[in-house]
Amino acid sequence: MDAFSMGLIAAMGALATVAGASEDIESDVGSQSNPNSQVQLAAQVGNPHRIYNKAISGEPPANALWAATAAMVAYTLITAFQMPALFALVAGASVAALFNGVFAISAYFGRNSSQRRFNQWVYLDIVRYTTPSIMAHAWITSFCIATISYIMVYMLPIHHPFPMPIIALIWGLAVGAIGSSVGDIHYGGEREFQNRQFGCGLNTMLSGQIVRKAEAGLRNSIDNAWFCTKFGGPATGMGFGLTVFLDNWRTTVFDPVTQASLAIAMGIFFIIVEVFYNLYIEKSARRKYGPYPEYKGDIAA
C-alpha cells in the first residue's frame, strides 16, 4: 500500500457516493422503480397525474446498460484512438446519456398513451422539462462508474483482470440494485403518500391514491426529485460508496498476494459491524416509536 493508491481508493469511494446519489435521483425524477407501480396504478383508480413514468425495465439492468455503454465508448476511444482518459470518459458518459434520453422518452410515451382509456394524458411540457434532468443525472452516474472502472483497470497497483465495460456492467447492476433497495423507499414510502398518517407503511386500502398536488400547482417529477435529494439520494450514495470503498480498501491495504486472509478477515469484520449497527437501529426505532395503538392481539410489545 502506498499513499497514491490510498488516494485512488478514496477517490473511488467519493465517485461511488456521487454515482449512487445521482442514480437514485435519476430513478425518482423519471419514476423508474418499484414505487412506480403506484404511479401506474393511480391513473387506473381514477387519479390521472403529471408524474413522469419510464419504468419499462428494472433499475439494475438499465443502469448496467448505461454504465457499460459509457465504459465501452471510453475504452474504445482510449485503446483505438489514444484519446486522453478524462476526455474519453466524458464522451462515453455523453453517449450513455443519449441512450438514456431515448429510453426515457419512448417509455413515457408508451406508458402514458397505453393508459388513454383511464383519462391519462401525454404531457409534452413534462417531456420537455423533465427529460434533460433525467439525462443529466444518468450522465453523472455513468461518468462516475466508468471512471471507477478506469481506476480499477489501469491505475490501482493490482490491475483488475476484467475489461472496463464488464466492470462497469457489474457496478451498474450493483448501483441499480442499491438505488432500488434504498432510495426508492424514500420516494415510495414517504413522498408518494405524504397525505396519509406518518410513521407507518402504506395501508393497502390506499393503493394508487398518490399525492398529485404540490406546494403550488400540480406536482410533477421535478418536485419529487427535490424532496428525495434530501435523504433518499444521499443514503443511496452512502450505500454504494460503502460497497465500493470497503470492498477495495481491504484489498489495497492488505496485499492480496501475501495477506489475502487478512483482507478476507477485514471484510468479515465489516459485515459483523453492519449486523450490530442494524440491530442498534432496530432497537432504537422500537424504543422511540413504540407499538401501533390499533394492535388488538395478545402478544406483549
Q: Give me the least distance between CB of 215 and another protein, in Å please.
A: 19
Shorter beta-carbon distance to another protein: residue 29 or 123:
29
Shorter beta-carbon distance to another protein: residue 18 or 131:
18
Q: What angle do CA 11, 14, 18 make, to 5 degrees?
A: 135
Query: How many Å apart are CA 158 and CA 178, to the nearest integer?
Result: 26
Q: Give me the least distance between CB of 132 and another protein, in Å please.
A: 26
Q: In sequence order, what are the residues at sequence separation of 6 or more whose Cβ sits closer than 8 angstroms to the Cβ of residue 283?
A: none
Strands (E), the chain: none
DSSP 8-state class, residue 191: G
Q: Give me the least distance between CB of 146 and another protein, in Å please.
A: 15
Distance of alpha carbon 244 from its chain centroid, rounded? Answer: 14
Q: Are 20 and 239 in contact (CB under 8 A)?
A: yes
Q: Are 93 and 146 in contact (CB under 8 A)?
A: yes
Q: Are 41 and 28 in contact (CB under 8 A)?
A: no
Q: Give me the residue label for grid cell 491505475.
A: 155
Shorter beta-carbon distance to another protein: residue 131 or 192:
192
Q: Give me the least distance between CB of 280 and another protein, in Å please.
A: 10
Q: Give me the least distance between CB of 124 and another protein, in Å please.
A: 29
Query: How many Å apart are CA 268 and CA 259, to the nearest integer?
Result: 15
Could you count the other beta carbons within 10 Å of the beta carbon of residue 69?
A: 24
Shorter beta-carbon distance to another protein: residue 131 or 232:
232
Q: Give me the least distance between CB of 220 and another protein, in Å please.
A: 20
Shorter beta-carbon distance to another protein: residue 10 or 279:
279
Q: What angle do CA 25, 100, 50 make, to 5 degrees?
A: 60
Q: Give me the least distance between CB of 160 and another protein, in Å please.
A: 6
Shorter beta-carbon distance to another protein: residue 217 or 297:
297
Shorter beta-carbon distance to another protein: residue 131 or 141:
141
- 218 has which bridge partners? 213
Query: How many Å apart are CA 142 and CA 95, to the nearest integer?
Result: 10
